[in-house]
Structure 1
Amino acid sequence: MPRYSTDFIRAMPKADLHLHLDGSLRLDTLLAMAKTLKVPLPADTVEGMQAQVFKPAYQNLGEYLHGFQYTCAVLRDADHLTQAAYELALDNLAEGVNYIEVRFAPQLLMDLSKGLDFDTVMRAVNAGLHRAELEYNSSAAVVEQGKPPFRYGIINCAMRMVAAKGFSPYYDQLFQLMRDFEPMQVIKLAAMELVRASVRLRDDEGIPIVGLDLAGQESGYPASKFKEVYDYAHQHFLLKTVHAGEAYGAESVFEAITECHADRIGHGYSLFLPERIQDPAIADPAAYSQRLASFMADKRIAIEVCLTSNLQTNPAIADIRQHPFAEMLKNRMATVICTDNRLVSNTTLSNEYQLALDHFDIPIKRLKDMVAYGFKKNFFPGSYVEKRQYAKTCLQYFDRVAQHYGFISG
């Protein structure tokens, strides 16, 4: 099994396609923002927050998600959104990540009482990312050293499950206004409003909103309930990813592809765990999983793989080698290494690549393929011709880095 140095992994060009803004703040920034907005936290030091909230390991998914109540609270401020987005771009650039797709649920961050509507939230996030893009692309790293320029897209998340009270100011008001509707009707209405607003702002102001995601609890909230929302995205050329197969069986992944036109799958962790399939109509779960994997591989439907996050939310996994990523590689699937949440998982994209490369057999040519998927399966905010040229530039740079470190990448 080839060994790859930390320096090589940091130097090679990378793309992170599954990156939650509200799960990836700098911890010292979170503390400062909370102080400004007078948001109470369990601790007032980095060490205290790491001990009580953002831990090295979690008991379950619920504990993993606990910290989002604090990150979302401090991000309900336009200046904070801009700062968080800007710092996230800088943190990625510092470790050789030159393309990112930042995702978040705008409706969790909106607060109309503060004038923080959808458009304001999106403009604030875009301002931070755009500032980083302008600064980096005019820097010596790009102009003189010939590194690939920085590009980004924004993916908006619709929520598949929302509590009727206390989830966010936006949802509290919406449930109050629609108190005679069933909860799922309210949730679906919010999702449709999100996708319509995303298309409008993309088309009217050119904000690079490149995709739609569906996040939140899978069990009991199947993607098929949001078919009309995804149909609207599909009809308006907004690309689609879905959190699927994270905490539910392979039928969740199939549903995301067939009902929601998913171009990519977030996590897909349960794809090769036939014991998680619950649909009684599936007579042979193992065969079903294998056929679905083969179909996805043939269609090049990429999986956004988040190793550390999966280990933390599935504590039953004793060894990283037990992760279904091994089966994804064996089945020649299009996989893209991602972070999910840099703060919550205490990770970086370089760390995620190191984890994969240290524990799975990935020759240099296969590594280049994986890196290539990050640039070829992304939702690039430009034409297909521009995307191809950008991918070519990034992969040529990969060859330069590989050669410098003594690899022949082919």
Structure 2
Amino acid sequence: MSQRYTHEFLKAMPKADLHLHLDGSLRPGGLIEMAKRSKIELPSYTVEGLYDKVFKESYNDLGEYLNGFQYTCAVLRDMENLEQAAYELAMDNLAEGVIYIEVRFAPQLMMDPSKGIDFDRVMHTVNAGLKRAKTEYNRQAEVVAGNKPPFDYGIINCAMRMFGAKGFSPYYTQLFQTLVDHEPKQVIKIAAMEMIRASIRLRDDEGLPIVGLDIAGQEMGYPAHDFKEVYEYAHQNFLLKTVHAGEAYGAESIFEALTQCYADRLGHGYSLFSPEMIQDPSITDKDAYASHLASFVADRRIAIEVCITSNLQTNPAIGDVRQHNFKHMFAHRLATVICTDNRLVSRTTVTREYELANQAADIPLKRLKDMVAYGFKKNFFPDNYLAKRAYAKQALEYFDKVAQQHNIS
């Protein structure tokens, strides 16, 4: 594909990242600093060593990809580290023109009841780091004068599809010990419902910008419909919803996310254009099913959070970026938002993901602006709809200004 845009332009244009895991997006140097401070053992205490042993350019499978989270989650159970990570994540995004982010993570992975680290403390700590970055950036003269859009953010809380009786976090370990007569799946669903109730309470009573619900973790064997009641509760309380769907399972998981979990957006959605991944035996014409579902998604303007590098790393069978299903999403005019997933684990940036998107498809300027617009129009903005519209308009006017500065028309 021809490359229409320079790295400098893609970096300068205003962007949003709506699929951004806090615990997968630490600075490598920050991780080392935090580990030393909290006395957490790492495989290496140099950036080069961590890249060589943990956070690689490519992985053999999803299991190897997820290996690094044991280290990031361990350091983030220290509240000083957690606030630093949130602050640095915002600043790293701002350094490459990303002015709106929705940071997602599983708060219960960070909780440690024995140390007094409860849900509320975790959420206030993350918000403090993000808010500090927002305050610093929005004090800049250009932002105050209205020449550049301000920075804003929302927080998406993740329930976990699965966790074990020990090892995942002190909170989960204690929960299993308390609910000793419950089946494991019951414990997992109880934890998810507890999280969503607490999220809505903090949003409504204390004004925290908790804007959405997600469900993360191993997709295979842990279908989204297991958490239907959790999503119904969020839906009834006006909390927006995204679902990891179609990342490692067939298109039927996408349909389930939309129809049983009220998904407002889809995380990954890769398998939408891979009918061979469908496993439901009742679906006999897989090509027709995938085609109908793609039209269903497109017609309802359900946004897909596209994470190209992450998909290439966790699904080596894709091979080259030109074989990534983004090209089909683009051709079928789906609402796609270019995201990173995990900046550290995937060793990527939003700018890099836009470069990959432009390798997968030849994107004219109008379509590129549409993709940028989806990040501002399909987000779960922490204010009312009119404020969201005004913010999106400001961001897109700035896009035109940057394009003009870079002589792109």
TM-score (norm 1): 0.98
The C-alpha deviation readout for 1:139-193, integer Å capped at 9, x for no partner, is 1241357111000000000001111221110000000111111100000000000
| Paired position in structure 2 for 1:281 | 282
| Paired position in structure 1 for 2:360 | 359
| Paired position in structure 1 for 2:397 | 396
Q: Output the CA distance in 2 between the equivalents of 1:283 and 1:43.
A: 50
Are residue 109 (structure 1) and residue 104 (structure 2) matched?
A: no
Moved more, 135-144 or 294-303: 135-144
| Paired position in structure 1 for 2:177 | 176
Say which SS state the counterpart of residue 318 (structure 2) adopts.
coil
Q: Output the CA distance in 2 between the equivalents of 1:56 and 1:369.
A: 30
Letter in 1 for 2:277: R
1:12–1:401 Cα contact (<8 Å) kept: yes
Q: Note the 1:67-78 alignment, pairs <5 A.
A: 67-78=68-79
Letter in 1 for 2:14: P
| Paired position in structure 1 for 2:23 | 22
The C-alpha deviation readout for 1:94-149, integer Å capped at 9, x for no partner, is 00000000000000010011111000000000000001111111112413571110
Letter in 1 for 2:159: A
| Paired position in structure 2 for 1:347 | 348
1:2–1:363 Cα contact (<8 Å) kept: no
Q: Note the 1:144-159 alignment, pairs <5 A.
A: 144=145, 146-159=147-160
Moved more, 355-364 or 213-222: 355-364
Q: Note the 1:373-384 alignment, pairs <5 A.
A: 373-384=374-385
1:231–1:260 Cα contact (<8 Å) kept: yes
Q: Note the 1:166-245 alignment, pairs <5 A.
A: 166-245=167-246
TM-score (norm 2): 0.99
The C-alpha deviation readout for 1:8-42, integer Å capped at 9, x for no partner, is 00110000000000000011111111111111111
Letter in 2 for 1:45: T
1:164–1:175 Cα contact (<8 Å) kept: yes
Q: Name structure 1 gaps, 5 residues minimum.
A: none
1:14–1:99 Cα contact (<8 Å) kept: yes
| Paired position in structure 1 for 2:408 | 407
| Paired position in structure 2 for 1:7 | 8
1:3–1:358 Cα contact (<8 Å) kept: no
Letter in 1 for 2:231: Y
Q: Output the CA distance in 2 between the equivalents of 1:53 and 1:24.
A: 13
Are residue 45 (structure 1) and residue 25 (structure 2) matched?
A: no
Say which SS state the counterpart of residue 156 (structure 2) adopts.
strand
Letter in 2 for 1:40: E
| Paired position in structure 2 for 1:323 | 324
Deviation at 1:358, TM superposition (A): 3.0
Q: Output the CA distance in 2 between the equivalents of 1:205 and 1:145.
A: 29
Q: Output the CA distance in 2 between the equivalents of 1:177 and 1:290.
A: 47
Letter in 2 for 1:326: K
Q: Name structure 2 gaps, 5 residues minimum.
A: none
1:166–1:172 Cα contact (<8 Å) kept: yes
Deviation at 1:2, TM superposition (A): 5.0
Moved more, 318-327 or 242-251: 318-327
Q: Output the CA distance in 1 between the equivalents of 2:70 and 2:142.
A: 37
Moved more, 32-41 or 183-192: 32-41
| Paired position in structure 1 for 2:334 | 333
| Paired position in structure 1 for 2:262 | 261
Letter in 1 for 2:326: F
Q: Output the CA distance in 2 between the equivalents of 1:33 and 1:171.
A: 23
Q: Output the CA distance in 2 between the equivalents of 1:403 and 1:46.
A: 38
Q: Output the CA distance in 2 between the equivalents of 1:34 and 1:84.
A: 12
1:212–1:239 Cα contact (<8 Å) kept: yes
Q: Output the CA distance in 1 between the equivalents of 2:208 and 2:146.
A: 29
Letter in 1 for 2:401: R
2:321–2:359 Cα contact (<8 Å) kept: no
Moved more, 149-158 or 41-50: 41-50
Letter in 1 for 2:287: A
Letter in 2 for 1:76: R
The C-alpha deviation readout for 1:217-243, integer Å capped at 9, x for no partner, is 111110001000000000000000000
2:323–2:360 Cα contact (<8 Å) kept: no
Say which SS state the counterpart of residue 316 (structure 2) adopts.
coil
| Paired position in structure 1 for 2:55 | 54
2:322–2:359 Cα contact (<8 Å) kept: no
Q: Output the CA distance in 2 between the equivalents of 1:263 and 1:250.
A: 16
| Paired position in structure 2 for 1:165 | 166
Moved more, 144-153 or 250-259: 144-153
- Percent identity over the alignment is 71
Moved more, 362-371 or 398-407: 398-407
Q: Note the 1:125-140 alignment, pairs <5 A.
A: 125-140=126-141
Say which SS state the counterpart of residue 316 (structure 1) adopts.
helix
What is the total number of aligned residue pairs between the two structures?
A: 408
Say which SS state the counterpart of residue 189 (structure 1) adopts.
helix
Are residue 250 (structure 1) and residue 279 (structure 2) matched?
A: no
Say which SS state the counterpart of residue 283 (structure 1) adopts.
coil
1:263–1:301 Cα contact (<8 Å) kept: yes
Say which SS state the counterpart of residue 231 (structure 1) adopts.
helix
Letter in 2 for 1:101: E
Letter in 2 for 1:131: R
| Paired position in structure 1 for 2:99 | 98
Q: Output the CA distance in 1 between the equivalents of 2:257 and 2:266.
A: 8
2:327–2:360 Cα contact (<8 Å) kept: no
Letter in 2 for 1:279: D
Q: Output the CA distance in 2 between the equivalents of 1:352 and 1:203.
A: 35
Q: Output the CA distance in 1 between the equivalents of 2:145 and 2:84.
A: 28
1:372–1:395 Cα contact (<8 Å) kept: yes
